[in-house]
């Protein structure tokens, strides 16, 4: 039986001039050079589905279905194996009338806020053709083994739409699938027939159009995600005096090494109710911070190093004792002596020449 959506999409693209279709994109030939990370480390390809089956794409944006235009948002779920997501690539093209940016984001849940988002100018997307377009996000820390989503959408303006290459022949990407929304992202239809994602076919039904599928098929978009592995910083060392006087300022030096060479900053708890963050500094570089304790007591300084991706390491600690000021203690003892021996006061006055 015919698959409604591919035929619909191809018809739209041909009518609008986007007739060229790239087929069976080879991952080895399409990989871009890895970008250099902020800590001089290269990211690596993590997740991908790079085969676009013939005449198969999904529109993103305002699709001019006769007498019943709809606005489509599209997503692809994936499960990262690297700790930090650096960028993604989508195999996309645009309609010649597309004038608004394509927004590409990463989400933990489809109906929740973006973790990160970039607006791609139409000039960066090929017209009447498809190609890999890089979306270079600010690096974000993700949880390996959990599902995330690459989401693509644009303004709901007449004939403003893009096309995202897809695969609908087999379960080409086993750790996720394509999702579609036609109500501005309020609800999403899971377009997969895998055992873990039951197929549904209602995405167009509330618009009075035909369902997306007449056959049971599995959909995956053409995408690539890149990332880096990230280990937490070591516990920071804390160097400085372990005893002193109240009311006096003391300097303490904090130093932690990040296994990946990331910059680190320190969260410091002085043990007296005061806390602070330092700025970022290079891994293994000593950072000196001053503090004053106002009251007598024994305090535990606790410090944690956090790398530039937000990953925190174990605690480092140092115990510090702050006894009373010695001069204060001597004066107090002298006053108590006079209170207990008032008859000595004239003698002391005579000795001091008062």
pLDDT in tens, 88-145: 999 999 999 999 999 999 999 999 999 999 999 999 999 989 999 999 998 999 999 9
The structure's pTM equals 0.70
- Is there a single domain that holds both residue 137 and residue 282? no
Any idea which residue has 């991706």 for tokens?
309
- Is there a single domain that holds both residue 65 and residue 169? yes
What pLDDT, on the 0 to 100 scale, is given for residue 210?
40
Answer whether residue 340 shows pLDDT above 80.
no
State how far the Cα of 95 lies from the Cα of 14, in Å rounded to an integer. Answer: 10
State how far the Cα of 17 lies from the Cα of 94, in Å rounded to an integer. Answer: 10
Answer whether residue 195 shows pLDDT above 70.
no
- Is there a single domain that holds both residue 57 and residue 23? yes
Any idea which residue has 């300097």 for tokens?
251
DSSP state of 343: G
pLDDT above 70 as % of the chain: 73
- Is there a single domain that holds both residue 318 and residue 248? yes
Contacts of 203 (CB under 8 A, 6+ apart): 180, 181, 182, 189, 191, 211, 212
What pLDDT, on the 0 to 100 scale, is given for residue 142?
94
* pLDDT tens, position by position, 267-309: 999 999 999 999 999 999 999 999 999 999 999 999 999 998 8
Tokens of 108: 């933990």
- Is there a single domain that holds both residue 257 and residue 305? yes
Answer whether residue 209 shows pLDDT above 90.
no
* Mean pLDDT for the stretch of residues 20-34: 35
State how far the Cα of 72 lies from the Cα of 154, in Å rounded to an integer. Answer: 9
* Mean pLDDT for the stretch of residues 151-155: 97
Let me know if residue 338 belongs to a domain.
no
CATH number where 296 lies: 2.60.40.10
What pLDDT, on the 0 to 100 scale, is given for residue 5?
42
- Is there a single domain that holds both residue 283 and residue 144? no
User: Looking at the 3D structure of the chain, how many domains does it have?
Assistant: 2
Range of the domain at 288: 237-323
Do residues 141 and 309 make contact, with C-beta atoms less than 8 angstroms apart?
yes
């Amino acid at each position: 039986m015919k698959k409604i959506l591919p035929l619909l999409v191809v018809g739209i693209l041909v009518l609008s001039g986007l007739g060229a279709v790239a087929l069976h994109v080879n991952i080895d030939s399409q990989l871009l050079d890895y970008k250099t990370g902020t800590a001089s480390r290269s990211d690596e390809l993590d997740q991908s589905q790079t085969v676009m089956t013939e005449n198969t794409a999904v529109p993103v944006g305002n699709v001019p279905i006769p007498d019943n235009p709809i606005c489509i948002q599209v997503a692809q779920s994936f499960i990262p194996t690297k700790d930090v997501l650096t960028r993604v690539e989508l195999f996309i093209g645009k309609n010649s009338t597309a004038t608004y940016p394509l927004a590409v984001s990463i989400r933990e849940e489809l109906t929740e806020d973006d973790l990160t988002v970039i607006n791609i100018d139409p000039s960066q997307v090929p017209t009447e053709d498809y190609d890999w377009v890089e979306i270079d996000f600010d690096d974000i820390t993700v949880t390996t083994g959990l599902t995330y989503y690459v989401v693509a959408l644009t303004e709901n303006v007449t004939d403003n739409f893009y096309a995202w290459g897809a695969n609908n022949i087999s379960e080409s990407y086993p750790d996720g699938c394509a999702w579609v929304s036609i109500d501005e992202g309020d609800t999403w239809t899971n377009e997969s027939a895998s055992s873990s994602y039951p197929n549904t076919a209602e995405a167009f039904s509330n618009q009075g159009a035909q369902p997306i599928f007449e056959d049971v098929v599995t959909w995956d978009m053409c995408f690539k995600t890149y990332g880096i592995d990230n280990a937490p910083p070591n516990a920071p060392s804390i160097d400085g005096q372990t005893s002193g006087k109240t009311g006096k300022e003391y300097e303490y030096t904090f130093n932690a090494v990040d296994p990946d060479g990331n910059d680190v900053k320190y969260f410091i708890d002085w043990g007296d109710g005061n806390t602070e963050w330092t700025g970022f500094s290079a891994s293994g570089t000593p950072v000196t911070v001053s503090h004053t304790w106002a009251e007598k007591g024994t305090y535990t300084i606790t410090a944690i190093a956090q790398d530039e991706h937000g990953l925190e390491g174990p605690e480092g600690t140092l115990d510090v004792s702050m006894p009373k000021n010695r001069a204060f203690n001597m004066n107090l003892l002298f006053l108590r002596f006079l209170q207990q021996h008032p008859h000595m006061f004239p003698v002391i006055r005579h000795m001091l020449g008062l």
